[in-house]
Amino acid sequence: MPYVQTEIDIAAPRKVIYELAKDMERYSEFMPDVEYVKILRRDGNKTVTRWKTLVEDAPIEWTEEDIFDDERTRIDYRLTEGDLDRFEGAWTFEERDGMTHVVLGVDYDFGVPTLAELIGPILQKKVEENSLMMLRALKAKSEGPGRSAG
């Protein structure tokens, strides 16, 4: 299955960035390709969220389970239903040299082998572009005006 990993350094405290990343319902406010994220259920350190995003103006919808590890500042997610067969991974946040290094890993499968053979590299590029868009938006929100103090 294809795996995409994107990374970015952000000039903001790790906990500030992690808390912003946990606030998924606000993603549509600063991530252009995210139409909405709705919290369907909360249970301790877990949520079930419903997502709608656009990839090349085509909507993709899914429901995922998110697990928040506040001690390690890590978010694990996995698809529970939706337009993909497999979509899971993790966000990690690590302080390095006065910056926070954020990694977003995505393991995915669109579930159509013939389609994957024909346009697999294009799909992988789109997943990578979307992941980078999310990281850059998180960076802009964390470093920009009105950010929370750490």
Task: Show the domain range for 43.
Answer: 3-143
Domain count, the chain: 1
Q: Identify whether 149 is part of a domain.
A: no
pLDDT given at position 114: 65
Over residues 79-112, the pLDDT tens digits come to 999 877 888 999 999 999 999 999 999 998 877 6
131 found inside a domain: yes
Q: Where are the beta strands (DSSP E) in the chain?
A: 3-10, 34-43, 46-55, 58-69, 74-82, 86-96, 99-109
Whether 150 is in a domain gets the answer: no
Residue 91 CB neighbours (<10 A): 22
- Look at residue 148 and tell me if it is in a domain: no
At 92 the pLDDT is 98
Backbone angles phi, psi at 21, to 5 degrees: -65, -35
Give a yes or no: residue 128 inside a domain: yes
Measure the CA–CA gap between 107 and 87, rounded to whole angstroms.
6
Residue 107: which CATH number?
3.30.530.20
Which candidate, 138, 139, 135, 141, places its Cα nearest to that of 6? Answer: 135
The confidence score (pLDDT) of residue 115 equals 59
